[in-house]
Amino acid sequence: MDICGLLEKYGSQKGPAVFIDYNGLKITYTDIISRSYRVSRELEHAGLKRGAVCALVCYNNINFILYFAACLKAGIIPIIINPKYGNDELQSLIDISEVKTIITDNAFAFSESSPMADGRKINIITPGLETILTQNGGCLYSDSLNDGTLFMLVTSASGGRPKIVKKNAAALSYQAEKLYPRIMSVNDTRYMANVPASHSYGLEFALFGSIYNGAPLYLRDFGFSSDVMDEIAFNEITHIFTIPPFILNLVNYKLSSGIGFDRLEMVVSAGMPLMSGLSEKFFGAFNFNIASVYGITEVGCVSFNPGRRSSAENCAAINNDVGFALEGNAITVIDDAGAAVRAVTHDVHGRLKEGDSDSIRENIGRVIIRKKIPDGGYYKFNCPEGEAKWRLGGTELETDDSGYIDPSGALHLLARSSAFVNIGGVKVNSSDVEAFLRSTGLFKDVLVFGRKDALLGEKLAAAMVVDEGSNANEDEIRGLCAKKLPPVKVPRDIYILKSPFPRTSTGKIRFDKVLKMVEETKDSQAAE
């Protein structure tokens, strides 16, 4: 996908037409081309050479798009880092990548007080502003890559270890050709995304999709206010790229306000499963289904369900249906022994046949993805566990996701594999227990996970955050679960915490840090 070439194409065709609208601040195709190319020259004058690997950290979405396009134009390879990362996460990424230069729109965020693990000098470049250079032997760039890498993305690090993933030009072009034509368009298509443009979902779906189709992109900082909903109707948005909580608020607002949203033709969901009943409620309000995408940073978009089913009877079936693999790629599901599991049978309406819930439990497995054209793998990442998931010369990835495949070949994504706890041979989805505990409204946050057990192999444990004044105790919480859940789903270990769960910059719970909080709670209780 030649991003710069497409921008030039639409720039010559559309000129002053709006390309990006970020919270009401508008930038045209002509603006994006002239300003990004000016920035590319600044980067070159600052000493950055073609093939240089740098960190790109932008706090403003328009600046990110400008700087990103400038890097592509100059042949500089940016590692895109979410600006919401804390100092420890940023430090970890700088250490892994060994970059010597950070390109940013906020030099103050990288002042002398910013910690770097080895104390080495980092060059800070702020194009269009005063350029700050902390020289490091006169060399502003690090390694040069010649494997087709255009840019790099960072995984969420919810397990505690971020990974830097190379994105290959050939793989991106192939994905674009197979994916974007499936994002159905109408005349005067208008996209809206309230996910960061620097995130893999916002970048590879919303930004690249808008460039591919020549559609204006409305970027909004994440929020659920009525003003955002009104803007969707006022700006006649046709495609929305978002996450399930926003979709729920959109449905509720439509039902309460009576606004028609007549131009809206596709709402794409990613990042987390749809809440129970959301598909049915959405179809009742809009008369079309939610589209779903399954993708991970390592391989980009894996599968896509356009959500074009026209019957309300199909709604329940798409709650976890993320569609078919992109043409030329393949998805399989394997069991613990590494063997492919059989498809689960549905009736003509996509509902489980009577007694087939056992079939689903038996045929849930780990998702394996095979890419026709792979990305470049990890960059400067020394972790045998991570590298071992790649096979067949980097074309096949064993994911941490669990699901099953229906007879049509569609993937039904259920949870992370780590969410399934093997209790005496019975696999329990901890996400189900989490969902129940959240539904009570008694806890600020909940995390359910497995722990080793000498008798049954594993057991369920639950950590929850409560108010300072809460008198909740372990026995009451177990009793609450026992009233609604089968015995195997009642957590045996309960940890009541007062401090909020640590999260990544994208809002995912840092599982490793919650476990540390749990251990500290156990130690303090033992000391009492």
Beta bridge partners, 397, equal: 369, 390
Residue 117's pLDDT is what?
44
Residue 466's pLDDT is what?
85
Contacts of 160 (CB under 8 A, 6+ apart): 510, 511, 512, 513
DSSP 428: E
Residue 130's pLDDT is what?
53
Residue 134's pLDDT is what?
53
Is 94 within 8 Å of 515 (Cβ atoms)? no
User: pTM for the whole thing?
Assistant: 0.79
DSSP 59: S
Contacts of 486 (CB under 8 A, 6+ apart): none
CA angle 156, 157, 161 (to 5 degrees): 150
Extract the residue ranges of the chain whose pLDDT is less than 70. Answer: 1, 111-120, 129-143, 156-161, 184-186, 222-223, 308-319, 342-362, 382-386, 388, 392, 415-418, 425, 504-508, 522-528
Q: Which two tokens stand for residue 454?
A: 């000498």
Is 198 within 8 Å of 250 (Cβ atoms)? no
Per-residue pLDDT tens over the stretch 379-438: 887 666 667 677 767 788 888 787 888 777 888 887 666 677 878 767 787 878 888 888
